[in-house]
Structure 1
Amino acid sequence: MARLPYLEKADLKPEDQGLLSRDINLYKTLVHNPDAMRAFSGLGQYIRYKTKLDARLRELAILQVGWLARSPYEWSHHVKIGYDFGVTDGDIEALILESGGGTSGLEPLARLVLKAAREIHDGPGVHYDTFAALRAELPNDCIMDLVVTCGFYCAVVRTLASFEIDVEESYMPYLRKYPFPV
């Protein structure tokens, strides 16, 4: 159960009601501080709609962070969102395998992106050799977007965990399809 109540548009000042453009529990929690919600949403919107990084690779990186953090909310939401941006069930199964130290059939660039996401999640950041490999494959703006995306989603999963934000019922099928190991 969430540590703060989920707010609705009626709970907000008229000028803040647009912040609940999506009916999701994360937003309903973040609007306890509308200015923080605006800042959060600004970077989130950039990552979703303006990043230079390929959308499928972006979603794989986000999923990697969600999987490692064992964040039910982030994982379930981005399995669904990932499907919208070209992530396949095979990609998700490969991510799970790679996370456990296995080698999947993913193309080398996707495997490299997952490795960088794991290193960012585990800290302190992308290792030297991984960064050099990224430089050989991606332009600088895409590397910047990959690192910013992973860093942002590390913050997101910690926000979700700190407020114990519940997964909406409409996202539960994705969590049931790909549950975390016990």
Structure 2
Amino acid sequence: MTSIDRSTRIGPLWAGLHAQPAARVPYRDAQDLAPQDRDLMSRPINLFRALANSPGALRVHHAFGEWIRWDCTLDGRLRELIILLVGYLTHSPYEYSHHIAIARSFDVDSDDVRAITEWANGSTEAFAGEPEVIAALTMTVQIVEPGTVDDEAWTRASALFSEENLTDIVVIASFYCYVVRVLGTVRIEVEPDYAIELDTHPLD
């Protein structure tokens, strides 16, 4: 298993949740948008409200995210573990807190969230007996940094996943690498309903 020292984590993308500066763009509401774009605010989380400054970008982003969550054939629990690992490694409080909450609907419990942090810090016991999880997380680590998957990790995963699901792992990890960079650059703030997740599962 690939071992990752905490010091190799990317980030923080900002100084920390409580010291985080205000967002760099306005948070838009439905009434700020043209009538044909108001459907984009059906779930008015801060990420969407910030992306609504470019309605076309938000529409494409939302469609891609919906495909990942509902139509991708990769197991839902494994998908959420990949996303949580991206959030943890990039020290993104927004992504991490949101997907702790979202992941509960896909059979990810608090033990799984703790196992992500333990595995990322070199535990050989986290996810023991789950070779598919370890293979997918190893790919995810390498997609986060250095940005590509080495032959050893790819070969190991290829023995466990179909070509479709291998592609899905790459696409999901890469998509959420993009998301955390948007969050960090635009300085999108974590909503209070999600910030409470960080009390139980802090990033620091």
TM-score range, shorter chain: over 0.9
Q: Give me the identity figure in percent.
A: 38
Instruction: Please give the alpha-carbon distance, in whole angstroms, between the structure 2 residues aligned to 1:54 and 1:5.
Output: 36
Aligned residues: 181
Displacement of 1:62? 0.4
What is the aligned partner in structure 1 of residue 74 from structure 2?
53
What is the aligned partner in structure 2 of residue 24 from structure 1?
45
Amino acid paired to 2:144: H
Identify which of 156, 159, 183 aligns with 1:136. 159
Instruction: Please give the alpha-carbon distance, in whole angstroms, between the structure 1 residues aligned to 2:187 and 2:42.
Output: 21
> What is the CA deviation profile of residues 127-146 of structure 1, one whole-angstrom value per residue up to 9, with x for unaligned ones?
21111111100111111111
Structure with the larger helix share: 1
Structure 1 SS opposite 2:102: helix
**CA RMSD, Structure 1 to Structure 2 (Å):** 0.9
Structure 2 counterparts to residues 1-182 of structure 1, below 5 A: 1-106=22-127, 107-181=130-204
Structure 1 stretches of at least 4 aligned residues deviating more than 6 Å after TM superposition: none
> What is the CA deviation profile of residues 107-166 of structure 1, one whole-angstrom value per residue up to 9, with x for unaligned ones?
221122111111110122112111111110011111111100000000000000001000
Q: Structure 2, unaligned stretches of length 5 or more?
A: 1-21
Instruction: Please give the alpha-carbon distance, in whole angstroms, between the structure 1 residues aligned to 2:201 and 2:145.
Output: 22
Instruction: Please give the alpha-carbon distance, in whole angstroms, between the structure 2 residues aligned to 1:104 and 1:158.
Output: 31
Displacement of 1:11? 0.5
Instruction: Please give the alpha-carbon distance, in whole angstroms, between the structure 2 residues aligned to 1:53 and 1:88.
Output: 18
Give the TM-score taking structure 1 as reference length.
0.96
Instruction: Please give the alpha-carbon distance, in whole angstroms, between the structure 2 residues aligned to 1:180 and 1:124.
Output: 22
Give the TM-score taking structure 2 as reference length.
0.86
Instruction: Please give the alpha-carbon distance, in whole angstroms, between the structure 2 residues aligned to 1:33 and 1:3.
Output: 14
Any conservation in 1 of the 2:119–2:126 contact (CA below 8 Å)?
no
Q: Structure 1, unaligned stretches of length 5 or more?
A: none
Displacement of 1:104? 2.6
